[in-house]
Amino acid sequence: MYCIENFFTTIQKIILGLMLFNFSWAEPASNVLNNIIAEKSIEVTKSATKLIVHAPKTSLDRLAKNFAIVVFYRSTCSHCLNFVPLIYTYTKQNNFDLYLYALDQKPLQGFPYLFTTQTVTDLFFNAHENLVVPTTFLVNKIDKDEHVLFAQGEMQKNELTARMNDFANRLGENRV
């Protein structure tokens, strides 16, 4: 049953990705992105006889449950080439959803990516003349229209970890 659910989730993501990034008549990018993010808003594990919902244990777990990480990059940017593997590993270790957007429409080998469109870029950036890469946003999975600029530029692992923990703790005080 788990394999079937993964298969359908994968098919859904592929269809939504095609709608968002390849067809000009697709529904607005924010709606499709919100639907993708909403899929992951509750972590559920099925056992043979019962449904178990895992409650977040720490403020970082709550952050990962409520926020996805979105990174914009260019394949020719040396800072992006250093940062993408770091953020990819971090998100996998801490159960964050990660969306990597290639502003130059060129993937980084070995990493999943999404081609960006003007609609997606407009959703995140107000002034296109100052697009700094890499740029990292946290997107609220609950209030899907809300996103927060998390960082611009490359970070080292200790800085990323410290910032993420600080952000998680500050949000924990406000009961995410």
Band of residue 3 on the pLDDT scale cut at 50, 70, 90: very low
Band of residue 27 on the pLDDT scale cut at 50, 70, 90: very low
The count of domains in the chain is 1
Residue 66: count of CB within 10 angstroms of its CB: 18
CATH number of the structural domain spanning residue 122? 3.40.30.10
Q: What is the mean pLDDT of residues 7-13?
A: 47
> Residues with Cβ < 8 Å from 145, sequence gap 6 or more?
30, 34
C-alpha 8 chain-centroid distance: 20
- Who wins on pLDDT, 33 or 90? 90
Contact 80/74 with Cβ under 8 angstroms? yes
- Sign for the CA dihedral angle at 42, 47, 50, 56 comes to negative
Domain of 91 in residue numbering reads as: 2-173
Contact 74/83 with Cβ under 8 angstroms? no
pLDDT at 8 over 50: no
pLDDT at 1 over 80: no
pLDDT at 49 over 90: no
Model confidence over 53-105: pLDDT tens digits?
A: 555 688 999 999 999 999 999 999 999 999 999 999 999 999 999 999 999 99
Report the interhelical angle of 157-173 vs 78-93 (nearest 10°): 50
Query: According to the model, what pLDDT value does residue 36 have?
Result: 53
Model confidence over 122-153: pLDDT tens digits?
A: 888 876 667 899 999 999 998 877 899 999 99
As a whole-number percent, the residues of the chain with pLDDT over 90 amount to: 48
Query: According to the model, what pLDDT value does residue 90 have?
Result: 97
